[in-house]
Homo-oligomer: A and B are copies of this chain.
């Protein structure tokens, strides 16, 4: 069989509808038995040897010509072929094509300018096709050198109930899939500790040292880190980070004896880490208010690791999430995203980006590696 380019689609007649669309999910039906294939679909049929030519071109020539016309064609072809190889049927995300949504905003034609693209493909559940009405993933394809705005991921993740997947093609043409979703509901913890009474502290450089802190502040509330050790013969006190100290000073639990202890600590925080301190404190306090305990994520290169339900430090479970606090206008280099998500996966935690200005709402953007 041979196809002909019409605009940016390839038309195939004969028994194409039965052969390619009805039985194997390629293209969209036109009148009669004719169908229209996207360039990527046509290239895949050429690649499989199921189509002989498009306007007389074989796979190689058609692939090269298409890549020259559409910069991301090669990337999209790799992802299309990979998902097909994994047993999925998928369609290009174009208005009027199978799986496309009603709203003209939600799925721009894939070959419009790169930035306008929400997603490139709709992928059907395994075993299902374009006529079954269900969508498993919406997939966007990027090269590893293309930066992605956090706001783009949030918009895409919240656009629809089907999963949003970012497929990154690295410089050697290998693929990584990231599942991006909003994770607000994940932070509903079961830690019910409330500090009783007040505790005195001394602000020292970039931490606060408390003397004579009640034991449960650490042992049940998991605030701070005791300054002790096997050699200690004196009570070395409880060391609090500045975010912990600010959170405890906010309701008067921690007392430094200054005019405004909370403001004193926040100012010190800003001195040592700038406005980032306000954003981190906001995330810290929000998590605490939801019964989730954040502790430093430094060893994992993150801002926090979190525990959903702390009863006692002696019986601490595995921490569930790693959190990195970012501005809402943050732009990810795909390589950095890969680093964070890979590390989190390796330690069996879920990576969440807490996107916030110092005084806005927090979007909890969860990103995980997906093996479709």
Contact = CB atoms under 8 A, between A and B. Distances in A.
Given A64-B204, A171-B298, A342 B342 contact: no
A13 interface: no
A343 interface: yes
B206 A239 contact: no
B301 A339 contact: yes
A219 B231 CA distance: 58
Contacts of A335: 298, 301
A291 interface: no
Contact of A172 (B44, B176, B224, B236): B224
B47 A299 contact: no
Interface residues of A, number: 73
Report whether over half of chain A's contact residues are helix, strand or loop; otherwise say mixed: mixed
A81 B207 contact: no
A70 to B, nearest CB: 9
A12 to B, nearest CB: 17
Nearest to A273: B145
Interface in A294-328: 295-296, 298-302
Interface of A: 44, 46-50, 58-60, 63-64, 67-68, 71-72, 74, 78, 81-82, 84-85, 143-145, 168, 170-174, 176, 202, 204-207, 209, 211, 224-225, 227, 229-234, 236-237, 239, 241-244, 272-273, 295-296, 298-302, 334-336, 338-340, 342-343, 346-347
A244 B300 CA distance: 32
Contacts of A301: 335-336, 338-340, 342-343
Contact of A296 (B170, B204, B336, B340): B170
A64 B343 contact: no
Contacts of A230: 85
Contact of A342 (B81, B145, B299): B299
12 contacts: A44-B231, A47-B231, A81-B231, A145-B206, A171-B242, A172-B241, A172-B295, A173-B241, A174-B296, A300-B338, A300-B339, A300-B342
